[in-house]
Chain A
């Protein structure tokens, strides 16, 4: 009898809270996928290339997992509390019939456990399949040969998924059942009337609404202008303004909704009723709605900007060099490397192998390194140029640059490898070099206009003329090594100012024939294997690409993971709250039926309410996300990547629209659930 009761109750719970169980299923899947991340093909591939960074990411997985557990605990606690509240009367009846509290506790525990196990039984196989699918798709997308595909099944991930899930379910259950068991039978049996919420005068809510909007405007302007990204204090203030603004906005929403109740076409079917329902929700749940809206906003920002940044990461970098060997300090050492390569018969594999020298000015006049280059004319000209924002940024940056010098001969070899025209300099001329990571196209064009006039500068007290156009070709393979500002100078001048104190990089470009035999990737892989035998230290384009790919993959994984978690929580809270609320006020719907409301009319009204209920936080989040994504892109992108700003924004909008579609599907599910519930109310009943 007892087990039958447990089985029937748990079945009823699943049926009545299908939405909640759906969300739990999604949570299990998300848990497993993040935990099985190290077993994904892309990650296995990357760990060979970029083991440090991959390990760093992997070590962060438990943090994300733990964070998700904590957030999901609150979700489970919240949704289960609703369920328990609804069943209070039933518990009272069990107790009054003589059931012992310990037995009631056991029954509830058994129900909970049964449902959790069913969820795991369904969720784990689904997550295994999904994880496998993601592994295959990402491998295909990044172009890894799927010959090396490994099954992503991870026993450890399964264990942690099941363990974590059961743990939070059990913790929430213990707290809730503890609360229930402390209540007296009469309070369990009594229907608790919902106390009247004290209402303040309408202008107070109107003022709160306006204050909320002002706070949000302040927050968004400060983050999109980029001011907030400079100082922590300003960022904290911006975030605080954002949070307070959202809360105040939702709290003040009852003012316009109150107006909507009174105004508008009142003759429309149940217009007043459904706006009163929405108003009630806003009055009783404004805080929850605000939090949900913030969660949806976070999901949109993560998803929108994360994918955009990942998508455009390193997009503009042209590929010239395949290899750079560890820097040495003298030409003899460079020759030794060449010799070693030739000893192993590897030199013939390169179509080009050349040295490029980079060094700092060793001042003869005793000037500080920061002051060794004086570009007063350039600065003066820049000062008056429009747009002021660009010239301002250039001026600001150039004040802090400590100039490196690059030898002309090496750089020209690099240009030749890149099929670019040779750079010609007179004896007293220096070409300006700026890495594309530190300058945008607009900045370079502005500088080029000044450089056409060959402005005079002082290098360690000697006059020289700066010339353009600004050079940007990468001097080494490793994209992590960048030169913010440098001067390309004739070799004699280089030797003079560096006094022989320089770093020599040996750059290599693989022979066309070697590449044509296989793909570039496998050619480099083969070469790497050969080079590893020589004991030489080197950086290859593949490692570099691996690094780019790693950033791309990790950025997209983490942002999508967080976005999904946030979205699940927000939607479940809103959905469960709506459906439970609907069940709590079932008397209202019964009265409407008695007054002649048809099933269709009721469904229409409930659907409208759902639109409003989900719409308010989602629309607020979507509006905010436009600024949020803009702010994130402003703060996180390098100047060069900002050239793709518009494209990124577009991509973000596409992503956010995608999320909105997901949201729409969820809303449709909630509507279906509500229709089903209303149908049960319209069925003829016996009332004796």
Chain B
């Protein structure tokens, strides 16, 4: 099976010597179709830069990003905009719903941006809304929704064009534990039932335990990889392993000054 996303020796440095920050320092990995990949790391480890590079929001210094065999870094203008909208679906930590549009209008926004007739996606909208349990709030404005509803509307927006990959940037960051759990269950369900490919950056070990594989980043380089042994390994067990890894990532007792 061909990988959907291939990252090769990705580098991104900020500033100049001697104050240079190596946000990404030669990262290489692949994402397979239908995979639910987590990326974890401490603050400043480079995980958000990585996601921004894949989303073509930040241009890396060197390396390559291949999406479905196409070089992302060579895209520009309309192609780039098309890539952002159609190939990837982006789920933000702060939802980033447009507060003057209703839930439905927010979900349909990518269609309008990419010239897709609304009729084509009407069934998909209804299916997604019912799956994500947001049918009741479709005609409400974000200010009238709870945090969980907002994030699920944002998820529907990210999914409406059936993108090749969903990039989720700390999607549970602004949610309480109950809503975070509900969202992660929905994302995991989408991954299992619809084989949606998800790349999620998170701090939250609990959220990460829904992934099938986790990459740990430290100081701009890949530090470790965890794979969940499905179906033998339960989620709580995987969670334990993640916690242990996070403790090491923090430096473990060896790093105590």
Contacts and interface: CB of A to CB of B under 8 A. Distances in A.
Nearest to B44: A688
B105 A271 contact: no
B77 A598 contact: yes
A520 interface: no
B195 to A, nearest CB: 23
A270 interface: yes
A596 B83 contact: yes
A272 B117 CA distance: 13
Nearest to B56: A684
A601 interface: yes
B112 A598 contact: no
A214 B113 CA distance: 40
Contacts of A687: 48, 52, 57-58
A597 B110 CA distance: 8
A4 interface: no
A132 interface: no
A452 interface: no
Contacts of B83: 596
A596 B101 contact: no
B98 A588 contact: yes
Contacts of B57: 593-594, 684-685, 687
Contacts of A684: 57-59
A268 interface: yes
Contacts of B115: 267, 269
Interface in B58-110: 58-59, 77-78, 80-86, 90, 92, 96-101, 105, 108-110
A601 B83 CA distance: 15
A268 B112 contact: yes
B48 A270 contact: no
B49 interface: yes
A266 B14 contact: no
26 contacts: A266-B108, A267-B112, A267-B117, A270-B112, A272-B101, A272-B105, A276-B98, A585-B100, A591-B92, A591-B96, A591-B97, A591-B98, A593-B57, A594-B90, A595-B157, A596-B86, A597-B113, A598-B80, A598-B81, A684-B58, A686-B58, A687-B52, A687-B57, A687-B58, A688-B23, A688-B44
Given A272-B105, A596-B85, A601-B81, A685 B58 contact: yes
Interface residues of B, number: 42
A686 B48 CA distance: 9
B115 to A, nearest CB: 6
Interface in A592-623: 592-598, 601
Contacts of B110: 595-596
B111 interface: yes
Contacts of A593: 57, 84
A596 B84 CA distance: 5
A277 B109 CA distance: 14
A466 to B, nearest CB: 74
B100 A688 contact: no
Contacts of B90: 594-595
A266 B112 contact: yes
A399 interface: no
Contact of B14 (A272, A276, A591, A686): A686
B114 interface: yes
Contacts of B14: 686
A276 B49 contact: no
A597 B81 contact: yes
Nearest to A688: B48
A116 B52 CA distance: 43
A230 B83 CA distance: 69
B158 to A, nearest CB: 9
Given A276-B101, A279-B100, A271 B112 contact: yes
Contacts of A276: 98, 100-101, 105
**Most chain A C-beta atoms within 10 Å of own C-beta, residue among B55, B82, B100, B101:** B100
Contacts of A272: 101, 105, 108-109, 112
B225 interface: no
Contacts of A592: 98, 109, 113
Contacts of A598: 77-78, 80-81
B41 to A, nearest CB: 12
Residue among A266, A270, A280 with the highest chain B CB neighbour number at 10 A: A266
Contacts of B244: none
B55 A594 contact: yes
B237 interface: no
A273 B86 contact: no
Given A591-B98, A684-B58, A688-B44, 11 more contacts: A272-B108, A272-B112, A273-B98, A594-B92, A595-B84, A595-B90, A596-B114, A597-B113, A598-B78, A598-B80, A687-B48
Contact of B96 (A594, A597, A688): A594
A196 B143 contact: yes
A587 interface: yes
B233 interface: no
B118 interface: yes
Contacts of B96: 587, 590-591, 594
B173 to A, nearest CB: 13
A137 B14 CA distance: 60
B113 A267 contact: no
Contacts of A601: 81, 113
B16 to A, nearest CB: 15
B81 A273 contact: no
Given A267-B111, A587-B96, A688 B85 contact: no
B187 to A, nearest CB: 18
Contacts of B80: 598
A582 to B, nearest CB: 13
B113 A270 contact: yes
Nearest to B86: A596
Interface in A188-203: 196
Contacts of B111: 267
Q: Which of A271, A280, A596, A598 has the most CB of B within 10 A?
A: A596
A594 B113 CA distance: 11
Given A270-B112, A272-B105, A595 B85 contact: yes
B84 A273 contact: no
Contacts of B113: 269-270, 592, 595-597, 601
B251 to A, nearest CB: 20
Contacts of A590: 96
A-B residue pairs, 6 tightest by C-beta: A596-B85, A598-B81, A596-B84, A591-B96, A276-B100, A596-B81
Contacts of A273: 98, 101, 105, 109, 112
A587 B52 CA distance: 16
A597 B56 CA distance: 12
Nearest to A194: B99
Nearest to B77: A598
B54 to A, nearest CB: 12
A216 to B, nearest CB: 29
Contact of B109 (A196, A280, A595, A686): A595
B55 A688 contact: no
Quick one: which of A270, A273, A590 has the most chain B CB within 10 A? A273
Contact of B118 (A267, A280, A591): A267
Contacts of B98: 273, 276, 588, 591-592
A454 to B, nearest CB: 78
Contacts of A267: 111-112, 115-118
Interface in B151-173: 157
Interface string A568-597: 000000000000000001011011111111
User: For B58, B81, B83, B116, which residue has the most chain A Cβ atoms within 10 angstroms?
Assistant: B81
A585 B97 CA distance: 12
